[in-house]
Amino acid sequence: MYAIIRTGGKQYQVATGDRLRVEKLQGNVGDTVELSDILMVVDGEEVKIGQPVIEGAKVVAKITEHGKADKVIVFKKKKRKGYRVKRGHRQQYTALTIEEISA
C-alpha cells in the first residue's frame, strides 16, 4: 500500500515505514503529524484518485529530525560591467517517518 501526498508545494510517494525529507513543518522531534493532502492511494488492485484530494484520507507521520540541507551557491555576473554577486542558501527541512496510511 502506498500513497501520493502533497506538502510544501511538492508531491511524494510514500509507504508505511518510509523516511523522507520535506519542507520545514511546525512541531518538535518526536511529535506526530497528520498529512491530509492525499492525492492518490493504491492498495493492491484498488486505486483511489482524488479530485484533487481524497476526502477523509490521511497519512500519519512522526517527526524524526529538523535540519538544514546542503548549501546551494547562487552566483550572478554581468560581463564587462564589474557586477558580481555570490550568495549561498541552506533550505530548512523536516525528516518524517511514515507510520500509517488510511483511506
Residue 36: count of CB within 10 angstroms of its CB = 14
Residue 1, amino acid: M
Distance between CA atoms of 22 and 25, rounded to whole angstroms?
A: 8
Answer yes or no: are the C-beta atoms of 94 and 69 closer than 8 Å. no
- 18 lies in which domain range? 2-102
- CA 44-45-47 angle, to 5 degrees, is 95
**What's the domain count of the chain?**
1
Q: What is the pTM of this model?
A: 0.86
Q: What pLDDT tens digit does each residue of the chain (103 aa) get?
A: 999 999 999 999 999 999 999 999 999 999 999 999 999 999 999 999 999 999 999 999 999 999 999 999 999 999 999 999 999 999 999 999 999 999 8
